[in-house]
Amino acid sequence: MSGRPALTAAAQALVWLSVPLLYAQGRGVRGRVPRLPEAAAERTGAAAGPAGAGAEPLRLLVLGESTAAGVGVDSHRDGLAGGLAAELAARTGRAVTWSVLARSGATAADSVRLLLPPASAGERPDLVLLAHGVNDLLRLTPLRRFERALTELARGLRAAHGPVPLVYTLMPPMRRFPTLPEPLRSVLGLRADALDLAIARVAARLPAARAAPTPAAGPDATAFFAADGFHPGPTGYHHWAAALAGPATELLGAGAVADSGR
């Protein structure tokens, strides 16, 4: 572990030295990759609990960038919100209502400015999933600015709703993105490692917060991704929701939701 900060610094230096090449390759990718829309269905929904369960439903809020917005699937029921709600309902034995506040292309700072106000004014959630990082990676947001924005989201949500549990998603498997050529793929992977450390630092400083991994794409990456080779498809979101459900259930079971009657 003692060599990791030095390795990270060297890797980030490589990222910055590679910026001209990354810019050229990135323009080529943008020119040939289809631009997929956000999920078109309603941004609220519910996953049923066991028949006859009397507890009040848990409330899940999903807030963030294009993956939170369901880019890659037609309906949020097949995205992070619906998938995680279904997993939580199965694991907790309670119905779960879900809502989405998200914008494709948003950085963490964009979410502070555009999404935090409506999230703070809305109904109190029992759990918030925060999905950020890819746009900050692509725009080379300084790590301290990224951490500050993630922290501001937590503070704003908790100022409005009390000690709501938070799950931060770690970075997706950039090194497995089919649409990214080398060396762009590997260099973005190095930058993603640095953002992962930043997300983990933020979560570690906060009570009732977790940084949860995104599953690897697997040997057949095409099964994980949507048609653009950049966002998850239904299979990718399904696996991602299942990976998030463990940390989310632990938070809910740790006393963050003390009673079902509110």
Q: φ and ψ at 191, to 5 degrees?
A: -65, -35
For residue 69, which of 90, 39, 49, 98 has the smallest C-alpha distance?
39
More confident residue, 253 or 12: 253
How many whole angstroms separate alpha carbon 193 and alpha carbon 191?
Answer: 5
Among residues 226, 239, 178, the alpha carbon closest in space to that of 35 is found at 226
Helix (DSSP H) and strand (DSSP E) numbers for the chain: 10, 6
Pairing of strands 96-102, 58-64: parallel
pLDDT given at position 28: 54
Q: What is the pLDDT of residues 118-139, one digit of tens each?
A: 999 999 999 999 999 999 998 8
State the pLDDT at residue 14: 60
What CATH code would you report for 4-253? 3.40.50.1110
Residue 25: the pLDDT is 56
**Residue 55 pLDDT exceeds 80:** no
What residues pair up with 7 in beta bridges, in sequence order? none
